[in-house]
Amino acid sequence: MVGMSTVHHEALGHLLAPPLLITGMSGAGLSTAAKVFEDRGWFVAHNLPPQLMLELVEMCRADTSPVRHLAIVTDVRARMFPGSMMETLATLRDRGVAPTILFLDARKDALMKRFDSVRRTHPLQGGDTLSQGIDREREMLGDIKEDADISIETSDLSVHDLRRRIEGAFGDSVAQDAHVTVQSFGFKHGAPRDSDLTVDVRFLPNPFWVPELRDQRGVDRPVADFVLSQPQAQEFIDNFLTMFNSMQAGFRHEGKNSLTISIGCTGGHHRSVAIAEEVGRRLRDQGGLSVNVIHRDIAR
């Protein structure tokens, strides 16, 4: 593996890092690689013709561009258009842009097994065999493979292994805090379907039965104080955070960088809201997490 190329940031105009070109053999994991960068907020473009690649890079360098990190995924289908990939790279370098090239490769037997498993036709197969299509592609990609900054052999890698290899190769450029959404809800309105973890806090005393608290909500201090002052509330939060933190490393290892925690009570007005706010606050205080707290049913 060869180290990534670098270029001084001013040479790239608006971009904070050199653009990334993801290429390689069809079936070697280009889509998986693209998702790694998409999940970290990169703008990822797929299968652009060479001329549009040049135009996109210029657009992203503009002062008004919202794009901070750009990755372009290209395979042999882009070669139907005029202009070779090597010519496009040379043009970019002449303009002071030094793309980082990530090349994904795999053995022929692994590629054939992957194509057979999804019953896909190789883009260069035509009326010939799958083996011949793979051979044609490998010959066409020889030059850009030689020019690659990072080459990863994916034959024996799972999608999770490939994700970890990419994260290891790119380090801080794909580093991102895990994102956690903590949402409160009311069971009487139905449990959320988009949760990774769902917990029930209906075991706590209900402020609804306290007349002066009934019309307030869990974001209001009197209700929050009532809920959080219950001994079992603090014990629950402590135990839940211990469990959640023990799961975090496993989630990250499996490539799951965004999690939703749903906390439910009867109506989604009092207990779940107060507990969600406190869980969100304590997760933020731990650091290393991007935390968002929402209340699905607070206005119902």
d(CA 247, CA 249): 6
Find out whether 93 is annotated in a ligand binding site. no
- Identify the helix (H) or strand (E) that includes residue 244: helix 231-253
Which residues touch 261 (CB under 8 Å, ≥6 apart)?
180, 181, 182, 183, 195, 196, 197, 198, 199, 244, 276, 279
Among 70, 25, 68, 63, which Cα is nearest to 45's? 70
Whether 78 has a binding-site annotation, put simply, is yes
Task: Flag whether 11 is marked binding.
Answer: no
Residues facing 153 on adjacent strands: 105
Among candidate residues 97, 89, 98, 101, the one with its CA nearest the CA of residue 33: 101
Asked if 28 contacts 102 with a C-beta cutoff of 8 angstroms, the reply is no
Does 77 appear as a known binding residue? yes
Residue numbers belonging to the annotated binding site: 75-78
- Binding-site positions for GTP read 75-78
